[in-house]
């Protein structure tokens, strides 16, 4: 079974208003990544996340299970909505499966906060999330390359941290039949 750790970064919390700025999928146990990062050219041309969505639709075919943090309520619906708005392919019901580690955290543990940054801190996970500065995310929509680089690094760290947490949670969870 091919398992991938997925995280996206977006310009807005609502997919019908915002754009995807980057996505990463880290294959389980690998230091290679599948990813897409918005470019200044895509911003200035008005294409934004269109090519990133096409790439996602192709890459996701290689995975059986995607693992996210709060992905059932954010990442997966966001990707599905952006693909639908652009008339692009998205996996159909039961083609791909999904594990949301946020749900595992809520149901199997009792942390003060189930935010990924808090859970990684309390579990003493080696890698740490980078802070979110809204001004950096906004700067991307002007095509600012430094902002793009920062958000891409933030996104990459999220999937690395996600796999680390998964390894700690794995003994306490089952593989669900939840479709993306």
Q: How far apart are CA 8 and CA 76, in angstroms?
A: 9
Give the model's pLDDT for residue 98.
Answer: 95
Mean pLDDT of the residues in the chain: 95
In whole angstroms, give the CA distance from residue 122 to residue 103.
Answer: 17
Domain ranges of the chain: 3-172
66-110 pLDDT tens trace: 999 999 999 999 999 999 999 999 999 989 999 999 999 999 999
pTM, rounded to two decimals: 0.95
Residue 6's region, left for phi above 0, alpha for psi from -120 to 50, else beta, is beta
Instruction: With H, G, I as helix, E, B as strand and everything else as coil, classify residue 60.
Output: helix
Q: What fold does the segment set 3-172 form as a domain?
A: Nucleotidyltransferase; domain 5 (3.30.420)
């Amino acid at each position: 079974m091919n398992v991938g750790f997925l995280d996206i970064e977006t310009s807005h919390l609502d997919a019908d208003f915002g754009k995807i700025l980057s996505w990463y999928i880290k294959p389980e146990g690998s230091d290679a990544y599948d990813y897409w990062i918005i470019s200044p050219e895509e911003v200035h041309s008005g294409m934004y996340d269109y090519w990133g969505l096409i790439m996602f639709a192709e890459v996701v075919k290689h995975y059986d299970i995607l693992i996210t943090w709060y992905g059932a309520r954010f990442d997966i619906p966001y990707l599905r909505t952006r693909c639908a708005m652009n008339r692009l392919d998205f996996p159909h019901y039961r083609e791909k499966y999904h594990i949301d580690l946020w749900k595992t955290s809520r149901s199997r543990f009792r942390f003060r906060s189930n935010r990924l940054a808090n859970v990684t801190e309390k579990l003493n996970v080696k890698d740490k999330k980078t802070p979110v500065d809204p001004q950096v995310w906004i700067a991307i929509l002007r095509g600012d390359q430094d902002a793009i680089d920062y958000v891409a690094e933030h996104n990459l760290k999220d999937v690395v941290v996600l796999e680390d947490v998964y390894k700690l949670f794995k003994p306490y969870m089952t593989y669900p039949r939840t479709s993306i």
